[in-house]
C-alpha cells in the first residue's frame, strides 16, 4: 500500500460524511411557508407556535395534507368550545349571549366537518366552509360584548380568536390546492 492510500481513503471518508450529512435547516417546512404568507406579520410567530402543537402539521409534505391536518385541528378546537358552551348553557339557561354562541359553534362544527368532507373533491367549497367556521368565534365574541358577559368573556374570547385564526390559516392553505 502506498503512503498516499490511507490519506486518500480518509479524504473519501470525510467527503462521504460531508455529502450525506443533513443540510442545515435553511429550507422552511410547508407550514412555516404558509405562516409566512399570513398578514399581519406580527401574527406569524403565533401561527408557527400554534401549528407546531399538532405533531402531524410539521410533517406535511403537500398542501392537501397540510390543509387536512389544520382542518382536523380546527375541528378539535371548535368541538371543545362547543362542548364548553353546552355546559355553560346548562348553568345559565336564560343567557342569550351563551345561547347565540352555542348556535354559532354548532354551525362552526358543521362547517369544519363539511370542509373536511369537501377537501378532496371541491377545495373551493372546502375553503368557503373553513371561512364560515371561523366566523363562529367572531360572532360569539360580538354576542358576548353586548351586554358584556364578564364571567364568560374572559374564558372564551381567547379560544374564539384562536378558532378564527386556525380557520383563516386553513383557508389560506386550501387556496394552494386551486393551482
CATH code: domain of residue 109: 1.20.140.40
Would you call 8 exposed, middle or buried from its count of C-beta atoms within 10 A (0-12, 13-18, 19+)?
exposed
List b or e across 78-96, with b for residues whose CB sees 16 or more CB atoms inside 10 angstroms.
beebbebbeebeeeeeebe
- ω into 44 cis (within 30 of 0): no
Please indicate, yes or no, if residue 37 is contained in any of the structural domains.
yes
Q: Is position 114 within any domain? A: yes
Q: Give the span between the Cα atoms of 110 and 21, in whole angstroms.
A: 47
Asked, for residue 101, whether it belongs to a domain, the answer is yes
Q: pTM for this one? A: 0.80
Instruction: Let me know if residue 11 belongs to a domain.
Output: no
The H or E element spanning position 179 is none
pLDDT at residue 18 tops 80: no
In a domain, residue 35? The reply is: yes
Residue 165 lies in a domain: yes
Domain of 166 in residue numbering reads as 29-178
Residue 127 lies inside a defined structural domain of this protein:
yes
For 26-69, the pLDDT digits (tens) are: 468 999 999 998 888 888 899 999 999 999 999 999 999 999 99
pLDDT band at 4 (very low <50, low <70, confident <90, very high): low
Tally of domains within the chain = 1
Q: Is residue 16 one of the residues assigned to a domain?
A: no
Angle at which helices 63-91 and 150-175 cross, to 10°:
160
Amino acid at each position: 500500500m502506498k503512503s498516499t492510500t490511507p490519506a486518500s481513503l480518509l479524504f473519501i471518508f470525510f467527503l462521504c460524511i460531508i455529502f450525506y450529512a443533513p443540510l442545515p435547516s435553511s429550507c422552511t417546512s410547508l407550514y412555516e411557508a404558509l405562516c409566512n404568507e399570513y398578514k399581519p406579520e406580527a401574527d406569524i410567530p403565533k401561527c408557527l407556535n400554534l401549528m407546531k402543537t399538532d405533531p402531524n402539521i410539521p410533517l406535511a409534505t403537500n398542501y392537501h395534507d397540510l390543509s387536512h391536518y389544520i382542518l382536523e385541528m380546527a375541528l378539535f378546537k371548535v368541538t371543545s368550545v362547543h362542548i364548553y358552551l353546552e355546559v355553560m348553557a346548562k348553568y345559565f339557561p336564560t343567557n342569550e349571549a351563551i345561547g347565540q354562541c352555542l348556535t354559532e359553534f354548532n354551525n362552526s362544527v358543521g362547517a369544519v366537518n363539511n370542509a373536511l368532507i369537501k377537501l378532496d373533491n371541491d377545495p373551493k367549497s372546502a375553503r368557503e366552509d373553513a371561512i364560515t367556521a371561523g366566523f363562529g368565534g367572531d360572532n360569539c365574541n360580538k354576542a358576548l360584548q353586548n351586554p358584556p358577559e364578564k364571567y364568560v368573556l374572559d374564558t372564551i374570547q381567547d379560544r374564539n380568536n384562536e378558532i378564527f385564526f386556525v380557520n383563516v390559516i386553513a383557508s389560506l392553505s386550501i387556496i394552494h390546492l386551486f393551482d
